[in-house]
A and B are shown apart, each in its own frame.
Chain A
Amino acid sequence: AQSVTQPDIHITVSEGASLELRCNYSYGATPYLFWYVQSPGQGLQLLLKYFSGDTLVQGIKGFEAEFKRSQSSFNLRKPSVHWSDAAEYFCAVGAPGAGSYQLTFGKGTKLSVIP
């Protein structure tokens, strides 16, 4: 079964600073990879996804993520954080061929932004 690790529970950055949120996964092959964002009291919104092809993926709101097979990682980056980016971020994996396409989520990283 697949698993996801987000090693940082809480990160605080200053507005305008760069951001990198870490995600490591465990799966026997190349999984489907996702980053979702959740604002307080809201559902999850997809930021970006990776299925195959170019390992650098561009998403909404200026986010990007890079799939590194050798490191089993899919880290999320943003060059300049805005105060509105404060939220909780979830990395998720899906298992191709598993038949169910359920997502396995990491525990999340809460991002705080200092003005």
Chain B
Amino acid sequence: GAGVSQSPSNKVTEKGKDVELRCDPISGHTALYWYRQSLGQGLEFLIYFQGNSAPDKSGLPSDRFSAERTGGSVSTLTIQRTQQEDSAVYLCASSLASPNEQFFGPGTRLTVL
């Protein structure tokens, strides 16, 4: 079956612009995660959605970052007023009800000029 998909695969933007990154999880997976992978920082947890529960936003680095998950499926990560330090690969993962294996998408490489 189809895996986790993310779009766009690459995004180049100018400092100060807003960007939206999309994640389509595996059908039937109730849990969805966003991570950020950057040089020197490794993989960092950003946010977690589980079903209809309130998301765990404890990993979001600032209030410029937000995410939503519509209809329990597709998720969008929004970064407002992008900064150069936001440049990273943003990875999305999904899983069946936790604890369980997280399946990762290929990521979106964000470059902020």
Q: Is the interface of B mostly helix, strand, loop or mixed?
A: strand
Q: Which residues of B contact A (CB under 8 A)?
A: 4, 31, 33, 35, 42-43, 45, 48, 56, 58-59, 91, 93, 95, 98-107
Do A100 and B56 touch across chains, with their CB atoms under 8 A apart?
A: yes
Give min CB distance, B36 to chain A, whole Å.
11
When each residue 95-115 of chain A gets 1 if its CB lies under 8 Å from chain B and 0 otherwise, what string results?
A: 010011111111110000000
Choose from A44, A45, A46, A96 the contact partner of B91 (Cβ within 8 Å).
A44
Do A104 and B45 touch across chains, with their CB atoms under 8 A apart?
A: yes
- Cβ of B106: which chain A residues have Cβ within 8 Å of it? 41-43
Residue of A nearest to B53 (CB): A99
* Alpha-carbon gap, A9 to B21, bound state (A): 30
* Alpha-carbon gap, A105 to B48, bound state (A): 15
* Alpha-carbon gap, A101 to B48, bound state (A): 8
Asked if A25 is at the interface (CB within 8 A of a chain B CB), the reply is no
Per CB-CB distance, the 7 closest pairs between chain A and chain B, nearest first, are A101-B98, A105-B43, A43-B104, A102-B45, A44-B104, A100-B56, A107-B42
Asked if A27 is at the interface (CB within 8 A of a chain B CB), the reply is no
Contact flag A46-B42 (CB < 8 Å), given A101-B31, A102-B48: no
* Alpha-carbon gap, A45 to B103, bound state (A): 7
Choose from B42, B48, B95, B100 the contact partner of A108 (Cβ within 8 Å).
B42
Contacts A36-B104, A101-B95, A102-B59 known; list 14 others, CB within 8 Å. A41-B106, A43-B104, A43-B107, A44-B91, A44-B104, A46-B102, A101-B31, A101-B98, A102-B48, A103-B43, A104-B45, A105-B43, A107-B42, A108-B43
